[in-house]
Amino acid sequence: MRKGTCNTCHVPDNPEKMKRLVLLQTPAHAAAEIKRMMAAVRDNRMPLDDIGIEKELDAETKALLLRFGAAFESTVNAAYAWESGD
């Protein structure tokens, strides 16, 4: 995520003045956003550059984000399933 520059914008001081501040740093925040994060990275909507235009991720960073993101997402889903007793 550092290589993807996500944390220059998705931080508590909200430099981009997002209407809905998306935080990704803690497991709880990340768990709530993982679906949207995967979609945003997969569809090349994130990261943005400093004038707010989509910025291309290098292939390796994108692949790693999606790989670890998928592992995290399936863990989160397993936790939800466990909580709901399924």
User: According to the binding rule CB under 6 A, does residue 36 interact with ligand HEC?
Assistant: yes
Among 40, 64, 66, 76, binds ligand HEC (CB under 6 A): 40
Q: What is the DSSP string of 1-55?
A: -TTTTGGGTSSTT-TT--SS----SSHHHHHHHHHHHHHHHHTT---B-TTS-B-
Nearer to ligand HEC, 50 or 78 (CB): 50
Angle of helix 27-42 relative to helix 59-83, nearest 10 degrees? Answer: 130
User: According to the binding rule CB under 6 A, does residue 34 interact with ligand HEC?
Assistant: no
User: According to the binding rule CB under 6 A, does residue 23 interact with ligand HEC?
Assistant: no
**Closest distance to ligand HEC from the beta carbon of 35 (Å):** 8
